[in-house]
Structure formats: C-alpha cells, structure tokens
Amino acid sequence: MLSPELGGAGDEPALDFGGRTLTYRDLDRAIEEWISGQSDAIVYDASTLSVPDALICVCAAARRGIPVIVENPDARPYRPSIPPSAFLLVATSGSTGRPRPLARTAASWYDSFPAFTAITGVAPTDRVLITGPLHATMHLFGALHALWRGACVTDDPSRATVVHAVPAVLREVVRACPRLRTAIVAGIAVDEGALAAAGHIEVVEYYGSSEVSLVAARRVPEPMRLFEGVDADVRGGLLYVRSPYTVLGAPDWFGVGDLAELGDDRELTVRGRGDCAINVGGTTVIAEDVERILETVDGIAAAAVIGSPHAVFGETVTAAVQLDGRAGLDEIRSRARRVLAKEAMPRRWVPLPTLPRTAAGKVARGQLKDLLR
C-alpha cells in the first residue's frame, strides 16, 4: 500500500480555498493539531466541515489509521456498522434513489494514484480546482490525489491549471480559468458541447463509480481503456468489473449497472445506465445518447430523458429541458427532429427552470421521475 502522506513540504502551497491559504508546512501542523485535539475519537466526521477543514480531518484520519465520514449532511445514508479496516465512509451519489453507505480502505484509493497521475499529468506545480462538494467522491478523490501529488487544492479559477468537473460544470468554469491546461472530466460522459467549450485545453475523461473507483480513462480523442489491474466483462449488455479499488464488501465481480461494450486492446465503451435504456417498440434508445444530442440543439441549455409507459410502443421518450431563452419549444422540437432518429424523438417535452441534480452534477433521475409523473 502506498503511503497516504502529503506529497509536498515546506512553503509549497497546499490549500488556497475559501479565502484560506495553507502551505504544506501549515497543513502538516494543522493535521497534527487535529489529531492531538481529538485523541480520544475512534472515528472522525468531516461531513459538515469547510473544504480546508474537511481535508485536514481526512488527512488526520489517514495518519492515525481511523475511519472518517464524508457524507452529504442533508442526505445521510443509514450506516448500521463500520468495517474494521475502513478508512473512508462515503455514499453513492443518489442519482437513481437514496444514497447507499459505502466503506473503503485507504489502499483502495491511494494505490490507484500513480496510474491516475500517469493519465492526467497532475504535477506538484499545479493548482487543482475542485468544483463540487467533497461528499461527491470524484471531488474528494481529486483533492486527495492533488495533496498526495504535492499540488495545491484551490477554488480560485483565475489561478487554476487543472480542474476536476462534470461536463455541465466544465462548460461554465472554463471561461473563468485563463491558466487552465488540463480538464479532468468524470461523472457522466463528456459531450461535444463541453469539448467545444474546452477548446485547446487537454481533456482527460475517466470512468468509474463510487463502488469500484477508477475503471477506465482516456485522453480525448483517444478511446477509453481499462486501467492496469482492472478487468471487465459484459453480461447481457451490462458491465461487470473486477478491481483492486472496490469498496469493502463488494463481490469479486461487481455489476456497475451500465450498458457497455468491450473492444480490442482493453477498450471500453460505456453507453449509459442500464436503467436508462428505453424500449421504444422493440428499439433500444439510450437516454444519455439522446441527452447528449439534445444538448447540442440551439435553445437547450440542458436536457434529461426518461422512458414513459405507452400502450402500443411499450415506452416512449420524455424529455425534460432547461431552455436558454433563444428559442421556443416549437422551434426546438423542429430542430430536434433533424438530428434524432424517429424512435429517439421525445413524444413529451417538459420545460423546467433547472434540472434536478446530485451534488456531483449528475441528473437526479429519481427526483426527475417523481417530477414528471
């Protein structure tokens, strides 16, 4: 197992967040003070802390070898027990339902950091912009990797050289990041609109889940490939993963729940959630494919798609759309017909002021289905 210690030292910047600046010397001292101030604690809870204090808390837990909880304080899962070897106590994003509790060892993340460094190129001189809360595991992973690498974790886009973001956030944040050289994208598949917004910036896309962590990655436009040590299998169209990076208690082969295809040279193509497959008269329509196309249509700022029951076709497509004010719904329907196959064309359109999203930026499909009933 790799050491979870800090990768920087001395006066090198470690945290520049929320108006608070800490060097690696300051951070090391703060971690030791946290440990001495809570010497009797057998588990830490970083869930309600600011990002700097939460990272100090997590690093203190790693140094002591005790568990630390990093959950959404507004949607905590029921956690009946803590496994003896647990380090991080986190939860699923809740995109399709209530968050589920997860527990992982320190090694299940830290041992993947060298491979993640190789694909992303994050260096000690980088300032790594975190664009979401730490209870969204992609942001916690990105922040801990940056500190392990000796880089600076920041919320200041004007000085950031690397950003962790979901595609929808990348579209917005890239305009405020004049020094950005690399965008690390996860959560959902990167779309053409996000790539266009990134422009000359190198985009690294990785695929994983809260349960299995890193599975595959690519430098756009190269194909996605499995990480070394990770195996995958497709059963009935659904992806199963065997990995050293899974959470505690996971089966040897973990069913991720995504539709996928495996190609030569460990290439992986992910087509979206298995529960996002819509059967329209015998034709399988992938909700996330339709969403990516709709978000290229002028007048649509964001889109989310679900299947709705139909007496004849089995299901039809329903689209919830967030409009940008440049076109009315009739014109948008007309534009969509030009780019969507007949089966994928939404029968029902529901304009919403904003789409419900998880903290990680994914569409909260459970909430969306409740809204559209």
pLDDT averaged over 10-residue windows placed end to end, the chain, 373 residues: 79 96 97 95 97 97 96 90 95 69 95 97 98 93 98 97 92 93 90 86 94 96 96 93 96 90 94 80 82 91 89 88 92 93 92 85 80 80
pLDDT in tens, 203-244: 999 999 889 999 999 999 999 999 999 999 999 888 999 999
- Start-to-end Cα distance in the chain: 48
pLDDT tens digits for range 264-306: 999 999 887 777 788 888 777 888 889 889 988 999 999 999 8
Cis-peptide into 346, omega within 30 deg: no
Whole-angstrom distance, CA of residue 69 vs CA of residue 48: 10
Question: Tokens 């039809």 identify what position?
Answer: 316
**Distance (Å, whole) CA 100 – CA 77:** 6
Alpha-helix runs per DSSP H in the chain: 24-37, 51-64, 107-110, 113-120, 137-149, 167-173, 192-198, 287-294, 329-339, 365-372
Tallying the residues shown for the chain, one arrives at 373
- Domain ranges for the chain, please list them: 13-270, 281-372
Q: Could you tell me the CA-to-CA distances from 256 to 101, 146, 246, 260 in Å, in that order?
A: 16, 27, 11, 10
What is residue 47's predicted lDDT score, i.e. its pLDDT? 97
Task: Please tell me the predicted confidence (pLDDT) of residue 124.
Answer: 97
- DSSP calls for 297-324: STTEEEEEEEEEEETTTEEEEEEEEEE-
- CB 40, CB 47: distance < 8 Å: no
Q: What pLDDT does residue 168 have? A: 81
* Distance, CA of 229 to CA of 215 (rounded, Å): 9
Q: In the prediction, which pLDDT does 257 show? A: 83
Greatest pairwise CA separation for the chain in angstroms: 69
Beginning with the edge strand found earlier in the chain, give each strand of the sheet holding 182-185 in spatial order.
20-23, 13-17, 152-154, 127-130, 162-165, 182-185, 202-209, 213-219, 225-226
Q: What's the CA gap between 311 and 223, in Å, rounded?
A: 40
Geometric angle at alpha carbon 9, from 17 and 89, rounded to 5°:
55
Q: What is the pTM of this model?
A: 0.81
Architecture of domain 13-270: 3-Layer(aba) Sandwich (3.40)
Look at residue 3 in the predicted model and tell me its pLDDT. 59
Buried b (16+ CB within 10 A) or exposed e, 326-353: ebeeeebeebbeeebeebbbbeebeebe
Which two three-digit tokens encode residue 100? 């589920």
CATH of 281-372, one of 3.40.50.300, 3.40.640.10, 1.10.8.60, 3.30.300.30: 3.30.300.30
